[in-house]
Chain A
Amino acid sequence: MARKHREIGKAGWGYTAIASVIGFIYFFPVLWIILTAFKTRTDALAVPPKLFFTPTFENFVSVFYRTSITTGTAQATDMGLYFFNSIFIAFTSVGLALIVGTLAAYAFSRYPLKGNDTYLFIILTTRMMPPIVVIIPIFLMFRLSGLAGSYWGIILLYTAFNIPFSVWLVKSFFDELNPEIEDAARMDGANERRVFFNFCIPQILAGLSATFVFGLILTWNEFLFALLLTGVETRTVPVAMARTLGGEVGVDYGLLAAIVTLFLIPIFFVTFLLQNQLLRGVTFGTVKK
């Protein structure tokens, strides 16, 4: 049998078509949510559910401006603030965790102590525990120290959440580095700080961004602690979303969908940019490319 064959591992547009169909089916619920964001109130709850409709932007407007039923005037909602909060809190805490974690990872990798493995294990376990176990003490702690409702409280908490994976991942990156380059730099007279900043860090930049994306995905949608520990000023979007549920007239699906869609954009964007790095983060640094 003679047929045109292709290089191993590659495929053409026919494959793309099949993959797109499958991808689309998988994506469908998300698509529905996004579509709902453009539906009017009645359309969203239409029976039977509508796939084709006249789109409207009123939900997106409602996200930021709401006409109060009681006073009848349009007021700005706090959603802009909530979006800012989410972005600020997430980026800050993941960034902080990355900095602190990288320093610690460097120490674990280059200056190993006796019982290194034990420390690493303990660090990772803190991430694994159910939030329920710590939620009460933390809640009490926050209340007592006045951190409840403040930015620093929740940022510190999220940083603590992200440290374990940051340490773990970045350590694996440092472990992979060729020590000869560092030795050469040392022999040329560079002190430890220069070796770290000018030689080690540049080599693992890709890995650092993988860790950043990974941490972002884990933190961005966090709900439970945000619910309990953020105040009116520092509320994050997931909490705000939950609050729309307990509305006066039941769930406003259109509005919620609009919020979800908007909230999806930043993380979608970041993930798209650093797609290839994400692979690294997900496998916890144990797969070499």
Chain B
Amino acid sequence: MADVPTQNQTGTAAPQTGGGFGAWLLDPKRRGPLLVAPAIIILFVMNIFPLMWSFGLSFFNYRASSQRVPRFRGLDNYQDVLTDEKVWERFQTTAIIVGSSVILQLIVGFLLALLFAKAFPMRRIVLMLVLTPMMLSFVSVGVFFKLFYEPTFGVVSFVLNKVTSEPFVLLGSPEGAILGIVIADAWMWSPFVMLLVLAGLVSVPKYLYEAAEIDRASTWRTFRTITFPYIKSLLLLAVLFRTIETFKLFDIVYIITEGGPGSSTETIAVYLYRTAFQFFRTSQSSALAYIVLFIVIVLTNLYLYSVNRRAEEVS
């Protein structure tokens, strides 16, 4: 059958490159997997393999600091974690921070998107101003927001002092600390939501707005009928993506409050870090990490579902 050209999915004939491994490698049937291979290999080594290792660790009582041979504990680690009151507290804290921050990001991002939806002179430059917060590193945002919140040196305190004539201590109380973190995080990432919504707003065909103008529709009706359907799914995308990312929040929290005062702002990620690297309870932290991973996978599923839905809607 050597004379009959073989067809691959893209419908071309197989190249006759002469026998041997080379031909085997370049055969169209293998082309797909071959192209994907480098990516998969790197991902496997760097992500999947460690994941599995970590998974394995969670069943032992391995401690990275000691030389003891780890003992198999089965699901005990998981049980410990799930019954630990402290863990549930952290989950709650994380939920509050994530929830507040995402809502704030949605509102601010949406308003900013409305602002930038029109074409005005120097739009590109003003847009850059608003995009800059996203480009700062978490460390710097953390450090400087901490400074802003400082009772004596901070700008925020200074301004508020003028208004309320009271010294302003934000980070001293649990509620204040959470507020401080939420504001910093929302400030950084609202531009992201803005970009998403903006992309949607910009993709609405101009003639729909013209038709609405001719039909004498009110601003609210125009928004409800034309604009909102286009950005609905993008908003959902934004919510899911930011929620997943905020769940992983570590840097900002650690730097601004170190989880304090006390442990009132200790998110899951910070707690995990502590458990693993300060207390060296390696296995336990692995178990907890996997529980978090499970939550994230559920959310990711939702996210992917919504992306696919959106891709179908648009095509």
Q: Counting CB contacts under 8 A, is A121 at the interface? A: yes
Category for how many chain A residues contact B: 35 or more
A274 to B27, CA, bound (A): 38
Q: Hey, which bits of chain B sit against chain A, CB under 8 A?
A: 8-10, 12, 15, 28, 31-36, 38-40, 42-43, 45-51, 53-54, 57, 64, 112, 115-124, 126-140, 143-145, 147-148, 152-155, 158, 187, 192, 195-196, 198-200, 202-203, 206, 209-210, 213, 234, 237, 244, 247-248, 250-251, 269, 272-273, 276, 282, 285-286, 289-290, 292-293, 296-297, 299-300, 303-304, 307, 310-311, 314
A30 to B206, CA, bound (A): 35
Q: Counting CB contacts under 8 A, is A284 at the interface? A: yes
Q: Counting CB contacts under 8 A, is A251 at the interface? A: yes
Contacts of B45 in A (CB 8 A): 156, 160
Q: Counting CB contacts under 8 A, is A256 at the interface? A: yes
Q: Counting CB contacts under 8 A, is A20 at the interface? A: yes
Cross-chain contact B57 with A136 (CB below 8 angstroms): yes
Q: Counting CB contacts under 8 A, is A112 at the interface? A: yes
**Nearest Cβ in chain A — how far from B108, in angstroms?**
9
A263 to B137, CA, bound (A): 9
Q: Counting CB contacts under 8 A, is A95 at the interface? A: no
**Nearest Cβ in chain A — how far from B226, in angstroms?**
11
**Nearest Cβ in chain B — how far from A13, in angstroms?**
6
Which of A9, A103, A264 is close to B135, meaning CB atoms less than 8 Å apart?
A264
Cross-chain contact B133 with A279 (CB below 8 angstroms): no
List the one stretch of A58-66, A70-78, A125-133 in contact with chain B. A125-133
Cross-chain contact B127 with A275 (CB below 8 angstroms): yes
A137 to B44, CA, bound (A): 13
> When A186-B12, A289-B203 are in contact, do A278 and B269 touch as well, CB less than 8 Å?
no
**Nearest Cβ in chain B — how far from A56, in angstroms?**
19
25 residue pairs A–B, Cβ–Cβ below 8 Å? A9-B117, A26-B187, A29-B187, A33-B136, A49-B154, A103-B36, A111-B31, A113-B33, A121-B304, A126-B47, A130-B269, A130-B289, A133-B51, A133-B54, A136-B286, A164-B43, A192-B10, A238-B138, A257-B144, A260-B137, A275-B127, A279-B199, A282-B195, A286-B311, A287-B314
User: Which residues from 15 to 30 on chain A have a C-beta closer than 8 Å to any C-beta of chain B?
Assistant: 15-16, 19-20, 22-24, 26-27, 29-30
A288 to B130, CA, bound (A): 23
Q: Counting CB contacts under 8 A, is A4 at the interface? A: no
Cross-chain contact A217 with B135 (CB below 8 angstroms): yes
In the complex, besides A8-B209, A47-B153, A157-B46, 9 extra interface pairs with C-beta distance below 8 angstroms are A26-B112, A103-B35, A137-B51, A137-B57, A159-B42, A160-B45, A220-B135, A251-B143, A259-B140
**Residue among B129, B206, B299 with max Cβ neighbours from chain A (10 Å):** B129
- Closest B-chain residue to A163, C-beta based? B39
Q: Counting CB contacts under 8 A, is A134 at the interface? A: yes
- Top 8 A-B pairs ranked by shortest CB distance? A111-B32, A160-B46, A221-B137, A137-B50, A107-B35, A104-B39, A137-B53, A133-B289
**Nearest Cβ in chain B — how far from A45, in angstroms?**
5
Q: Counting CB contacts under 8 A, is A10 at the interface? A: yes
Contacts of B49 in A (CB 8 A): 137, 141
Cross-chain contact A15 with B137 (CB below 8 angstroms): no
Q: Counting CB contacts under 8 A, is A167 at the interface? A: yes
**Nearest Cβ in chain B — how far from A70, in angstroms?**
25
Contacts of A164 in B (CB 8 A): 43
